[in-house]
Structure formats: structure tokens, C-alpha cells
Amino acid sequence: MDGPALLRSLAALACVLLLTVPALWLLRRHAGAPLRRLGAGSRLCVTASCPLDPRVRLVLVRRDRVEHLLAIGPAGVTVIETLPAMAEPEAPGAAP
């Protein structure tokens, strides 16, 4: 491979990397956002989400009056625990 061809190849690689890094950053930052944007009247809500490692994530999902703790990873989804949902905290200064 001669000099100009090598230089073009390196420039193309640099362009690809410069476009890929911000795209991956945005994808990682906003992953799971569509689940959180369910309507206010929806029966389903993602209460919390916590990464355990780069491939496995714990997600607390609330459905009606039940909370499900899920482990989501490459092997699939595993239900770890299902409990009745805790009562919603009342707003400060709310009359009884």
C-alpha cells in the first residue's frame, strides 16, 4: 500500500470513529427512556433502574399495585422478586 492510500484509509477510520463515539454515548445515555415515557394513566411504570455490569441491569417495574424486580441481560429477563407496591407518599401539606 502506497503513502496516499494509507493516508486515505487512516482518515476514513478517524471519521468513522469520530461519528461512532457520540452515537454510542447518546445511545447509552438514553437507553430505556421510551419505557419511562408511558402515559400518566398507564398501568405500567419503570420505577428504578440500576446497572450491575455493562451487560446486566436491575429494573423495578410497577404494574397496578404490584412491583416486580427484574434482572435484564443477554440471557433474557429473570423475575427476582414480586411484592405489593408501597403506598405513594402524600404531598407535603396535604390535608388528611
Give the residue from 91, 96, 67, 62 showing the smallest Cα distance to 81.
Answer: 67
> What pLDDT does residue 41 have?
62
> What pLDDT does residue 31 have?
65
Length of the chain: 96
CB-based contact 9:27 (threshold 8 Å): no
| Span 28-68, pLDDT tens digits | 776 655 545 555 567 888 888 999 998 999 999 988 888 99
Residue 45 has φ and ψ, to the nearest 5°, of -150, 135
The alpha-helical segments, DSSP class H, found in 2-74 are 3-29, 33-36
CB-based contact 67:82 (threshold 8 Å): yes
